Amino acid sequence: MLRRAPRRAPERVIFCGAGRWGRKLIRAFLAHGAVPAGFVVRSNPTMQWLAAEYPHVPVDTDAERLLAGTHADVVVVATPTETHSRLAQFGLHQGCDVFVEKPLCTDPVEARALAASARVRGKALFTGFVYLYHPAVVALRRALATENLAEVRFTWARPALAGPPAWELLPHELAIASVLLGELPQAVSLDVDGELCRCRWTSTAGTRIEISLDGRAGISKRKAVALRTVAGEVWKWTDHELVRYDRKSPETALRRTTFGPAEPLRREVEWFFAHRHYPEAVRKEIDRSVAITTLIDDALAAAVPGRSELE
């Protein structure tokens, strides 16, 4: 349930990163009423864009320097994955709540250290699993009981990823699965072949889950989730459309719902501001992030590389 955030002075936010997704975060936070306290970026074109869009807001290439000299309530990190841990830790040390794009980091030891730092300081450490706030996920949770799910299949093709699919895409799918199934697995089977990745496991309720990821250059972008119940009912979620099919006639759509593309991010930012001062909600988010980082790291260590059947 979404809490109503108490009335406070506008939150001052430092944004680390202003790439494609970083700019969307900036707009979403400011649309919520936040005030930009500063930007940390490296490229000249991005600096020029920020100077034109926000001419009175300081821009720096050094995050620690800006954070140390600027009052802020929140730090938003939307930078390359390998920088997440350092920037998040410094933000926490400065007494800020921290919003980090997924994954929190790729090292379980660093993830646990961040979690400990947030708890000691009583600060929010939030990872941006934006699909958890998609109306389709909300609708599926309401419509389908966990114990009635027989199979869930995730398919995601995203060309020219910035990193391996196991870290660029899999965290999102694991987060969605954790909500739909009410749990994260203790371990998964992971097959990796270059930019192809497949993750499989069976839930404690007996649901079979398979996640197929493709990050090869030149492919068509596509994301889909298909769910089948024990009774044979089928739901399919593609991009911003959710369809329920007739179990007697699989090609017949019984219900079709469409959603606005900006809705998930708006809801995510709203949730962050409404819950960041509530320890129990914050703890659950931290635990999920640490568990996902640990699960992927363990699975990669045990992964079987070069499986040709992933083609």
Helix/strand number for the chain, H first, E second: 10, 15
Give me the phi and psi of 29, to 5 degrees please.
-65, -45
Contacts of 178 (CB under 8 A, 6+ apart): 184, 288, 292
Task: Annotate 7-16 with b (16+ C-beta within 10 A) or e (fewer).
Answer: eeeebbbbbb
Please tell me if the domain spanning 12-128 has the same topology as the one spanning 131-261: no
CA 153 to chain centre: 18
The CATH architecture one would assign to domain 131-261 is 2-Layer Sandwich (3.30)
| Of the candidates 171, 192, 207, the residue with the CA atom closest to the CA atom of residue 288 | 171
CA contacts within 13 A on the Cβ side of 104 = 30
Q: Are 200 and 188 in contact (CB under 8 A)?
A: yes
* Lookup result for tokens 């030149």: 218
Q: Are 106 and 82 in contact (CB under 8 A)?
A: yes
| Of the candidates 107, 57, 16, 31, the residue with the CA atom closest to the CA atom of residue 272 | 31
* Lookup result for tokens 């900006």: 262
Distance, in Å, from the CA atom of 85 to the CA atom of 36, rounded to the nearest integer, reads: 22
pLDDT of residue 246: 82
| Per-residue confidence band for 308, with pLDDT thresholds at 50, 70 and 90 | very low
Distance, in Å, from the CA atom of 22 to the CA atom of 101, rounded to the nearest integer, reads: 9
Residue 84, SS3 per DSSP: helix
| Per-residue confidence band for 90, with pLDDT thresholds at 50, 70 and 90 | very high
Mean pLDDT of the chain: 93
| Per-residue confidence band for 50, with pLDDT thresholds at 50, 70 and 90 | very high
Q: Is the peptide bond before 165 cis (omega within 30 degrees of 0)?
A: no
* Lookup result for tokens 């009410």: 182
109, two tokens: 């030891």
Domain ranges of the chain: 12-128, 131-261
Distance, in Å, from the CA atom of 289 to the CA atom of 250, rounded to the nearest integer, reads: 36
Q: Measuring CA to CA, how many Å separate 27 from each of 97, 229, 259, 305?
A: 18, 39, 20, 40
| Per-residue confidence band for 38, with pLDDT thresholds at 50, 70 and 90 | very high
CATH number attached to the domain at 12-128: 3.40.50.720
Q: 305 pLDDT exceeds 90?
A: no
The string of pLDDT tens digits covering residues 13-27 is: 999 999 999 999 999
Contacts of 68 (CB under 8 A, 6+ apart): 94
Distance, in Å, from the CA atom of 124 to the CA atom of 115, rounded to the nearest integer, reads: 9
More confident residue, 237 or 246: 237
Residue 221, SS3 per DSSP: coil
Contacts of 204 (CB under 8 A, 6+ apart): 183
Q: 251 pLDDT exceeds 90?
A: no
Q: Measuring CA to CA, how many Å separate 77 from each of 9, 55, 184?
A: 22, 21, 25
| Per-residue confidence band for 156, with pLDDT thresholds at 50, 70 and 90 | very high
Q: Measuring CA to CA, how many Å separate 197 from each of 96, 119, 167, 222?
A: 36, 34, 10, 15
More confident residue, 310 or 265: 265
